[in-house]
Amino acid sequence: MSTSSPELLVQLDRSRPRSLRAQLETSLRSAIRTGRLRPGSRLPSSRTLAADLQVTRGVVVAAYDQLTAEGYLTARQGWGTVVNAIATPETPDRRPAPAAAARYDFRPGAPDVGLFPRAAWTRATRAAMNSLPDLDLGYGDPGGLVPLRETLAGYLGRVRGVSCRPDHVVVCNGFSHGLALLARVLAGRGSAAIAVEDPGHPSWREQIEWAGAACHPVGIDDQGLRVEELAASRAGAVLTTPAHQWPTGVVLSARRRVRLADWARTSGGYIIEDDYDAEYRYDREPVGALQGVAPDHVIYIGSLSKSLAPALRLGWLVVPPALRDELIAARSVTDRFTTPIIQAAAAEFLRRGDLDRHLRRARRSYRQRRDVLIGALQRHIPGTRATGISAGLHVVVRLPDGMDPVRIAASASRHGILLHPLDHYRASPARAGAPALVMGYSRLTCRQIEEGIHLLASLT
């Protein structure tokens, strides 16, 4: 049995006529019934609790014995006194019934967390903790740990052509957090509207509106963002995914890149570049980041959510010097900083080349799954066509005329197949186009993909 005992909040009123033992029993009984003491919780030893409450040990022993006799407690050899699972009218189970597990989850937007390089991350974490200064365990720099910002500046310059110094990097808690901070700062600067691609991710629009700015949807075609629509709007900034547009999968053409940079320089607006899926290009090297073309007008956002795992909650902004102080000030009055322990581990992970090695392995796995998905669609559902470049963790599947993607998605869901219609991501229903589905493949094995498409074909 451990020599340490857990702490327990119990209040005894010595002015009351009721005995201290009875008060202790009532207090513990109520804590168990209301769920404050959960099943399996270990109680302090009788000696420790008696000392904490300044009562004799016999008072605690008698209370424990009574509650054990009533079935609330159990004395376990080598562990001590623990709380039993009970069911009483005072503690109805309010947890929602678990949803039926999906057999085939084709929803886009998440990596295969089973690929997470646990051993490499553990080594990086151990090395980081052995060298992390005591000072970095306190309240951290809102901009991020210097070693991580230095490592990120080098990494982004090497693999994405981002032009920045370490002091241009602001570490954040993932993409959504960085976007919300940025939208708040831009709204405070008078950018009442931020343009977004349509279709695009609904949560991005929600983040922008939550921060106090309005969203202005701008259309997409086979060359990417329609810059002429952006120029005709009153937006002071635009959020775009030039490397691999979410969700259509098109790349912003070279001509559009130049026109977009010209719009920013001429209007004084900002381009918010979400470098979405740039690390997962399968047929060739991805185009460089737009930030490298116009670093004074582009705010670059990246994260480890797709490349490693969303649970890390680690992202970064590369911001023009004119915005950095305002962004740091906003960070200082909100959540203050990102946990330095994760930052230090990530810096070590990058420095050792572990991210490069992981991405090489992940690309091979995801490309194989993509090929299996496209092949299965061609065999089982003739007339469908996968569009977009060979990249990312999803494909857009164009359906034959007459097929209703909403009906197909609803029918598939009833059979344990999860997928989304393309129109799910449109801000304006007026932009609805040819019927299409957005299908991710990162959550499934190759065998599951083949089985899922075979079943989907029987429902269409």
- Predicted confidence (pLDDT) per residue in 389-441, tens digit: 999 999 999 999 889 999 999 999 999 999 999 999 998 776 777 899 999 99
pLDDT band at residue 299 under the 50/70/90 scheme: very high
Token digits for 15? 């002015």
pLDDT band at residue 4 under the 50/70/90 scheme: low
Token digits for 45? 């030893």
pLDDT band at residue 52 under the 50/70/90 scheme: confident
Tell me the pLDDT tens digit for each residue of 90-106: 444 444 444 446 899 99
Sign of the dihedral through C-alpha 374, 204, 266, 289: negative
Mean pLDDT of the residues in the chain = 90
Average pLDDT over residues 337-365: 96
- For 4-77, where are the E strands, in sequence order? 73-76
Type of residue numbered 262 = D
Nearest to 261 by CA among 301, 287, 289: 289
Q: What is the three-class DSSP state of 51?
A: helix
Tell me the pLDDT tens digit for each residue of 140-173: 899 999 999 999 999 999 999 999 999 999 999 9
The structure's pTM equals 0.81
Q: How far apart are CA 432 and CA 427, in angstroms?
A: 10
Question: CA-based angle 246:250:251, to the nearest 5?
Answer: 105
Q: How far apart are CA 444 and CA 91, in angstroms?
A: 39
The least confident of 6-20, 263-277, 308-322 is 6-20
Average pLDDT over residues 101-127: 94
> Is the CB of residue 224 less than 8 Å from the CB of residue 198?
no
Please determine, for residue 277, whether its predicted confidence score (pLDDT) is greater than 90: no
Tell me how long the chain is. Answer: 460
Cβ partners under 8 Å of residue 195, min gap 6:
215, 216, 217, 218, 230, 233, 235, 237, 238, 239
> Is the CB of residue 397 less than 8 Å from the CB of residue 386?
yes
> Is the CB of residue 294 less than 8 Å from the CB of residue 287?
no
> Is the CB of residue 384 less than 8 Å from the CB of residue 401?
no
**Domains, the chain, ordered by start:** 1-95 (1.10.10.10), 104-110+357-459 (3.90.1150.10), 117-352 (3.40.640.10)
Q: Count of alpha carbons within 13 Å of 108, Cβ hemisphere only?
A: 25
> Is the CB of residue 111 less than 8 Å from the CB of residue 459?
no
pLDDT band at residue 382 under the 50/70/90 scheme: very high
Peptide bond into 320 cis (omega under 30): no
Token digits for 349? 């992970």
Please determine, for residue 17, whether its predicted confidence score (pLDDT) is greater than 90: no
> Is the CB of residue 37 less than 8 Å from the CB of residue 74?
no
Q: How far apart are CA 141 and CA 332, in angstroms?
A: 9
Tell me the pLDDT tens digit for each residue of 225-263: 999 999 999 899 999 999 999 999 999 999 999 999 999
Q: In angstroms, what is the C-alpha Rg of the chain?
A: 28
Q: How far apart are CA 355 and CA 326, in angstroms?
A: 31
* 18 CB burial (10 A radius; 0-12, 13-18, 19+): exposed
Q: How far apart are CA 407 and CA 344, in angstroms?
A: 48
